[in-house]
């Protein structure tokens, strides 16, 4: 996913976060890959985790999604502290394609770290 996001920046006309998401979705669809949205973080910093049926596997998936979304929330808080809530400077920074890609690369890195730690924990207990 990190490469998909980085490659979106080379697409013509990609200047906003929405453009990035559309480019990533189009690239994945062209490869026959369908995705679902595990969660979102809005420009006020509110995290929404897409509901999944309750079970132990989904609890783990949700925990990974939380780690991803917390990266976006921290970025939102940093941008708000820098530019002020609701200012045009904040909105421009929040929706900037390059910032968007960098933030998702970092968010997916957090998920990779989550799964690496999860696998290590499972190995350590013999699972």
89-108 burial, b at 16+ Cβ within 10 Å, e below that, comes to: ebeebbbbbebbbebbbebb
19 binds Zn ion (CB under 5 A): no
Least CB distance to Zn ion at residue 110 (A):
10
Least CB distance to Zn ion at residue 101 (A):
10
**CB contact at 8 A, 43 and 76:** yes
- Whose CA is closest to 22, among 107, 100, 112, 111? 100
Least CB distance to Zn ion at residue 107 (A):
4
107 binds Zn ion (CB under 5 A): yes
Binders in 77-106 for Zn ion, by CB under 5 A: 104
Tallying the residues shown for the chain, one arrives at 127
Least CB distance to Zn ion at residue 125 (A):
30
Reduce the DSSP state of residue 81 to 3 states and report it.
Answer: helix
Nearer to Zn ion, 5 or 90 (CB): 5
67 binds Zn ion (CB under 5 A): no
Q: Rule CB under 5 A: which residues touch Zn ion?
A: 104, 107
């Amino acid at each position: 996913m990190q490469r998909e996001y980085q490659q979106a920046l080379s697409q013509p006309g990609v200047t906003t976060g929405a453009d990035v998401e559309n480019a990533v979705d189009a690239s994945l669809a062209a490869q026959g890959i369908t995705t679902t949205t595990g969660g979102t973080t809005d420009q006020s910093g509110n995290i929404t985790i897409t509901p999944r049926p309750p079970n132990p596997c989904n609890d783990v998936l949700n925990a990974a999604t939380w780690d991803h979304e917390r990266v976006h929330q921290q970025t939102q808080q940093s941008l708000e502290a820098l530019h002020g809530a609701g200012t045009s400077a904040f909105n421009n920074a929040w929706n900037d394609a390059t910032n968007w890609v960098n933030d998702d690369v970092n968010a997916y890195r957090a998920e990779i770290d989550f799964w690496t730690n999860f696998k290590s924990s499972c190995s350590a207990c013999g699972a």
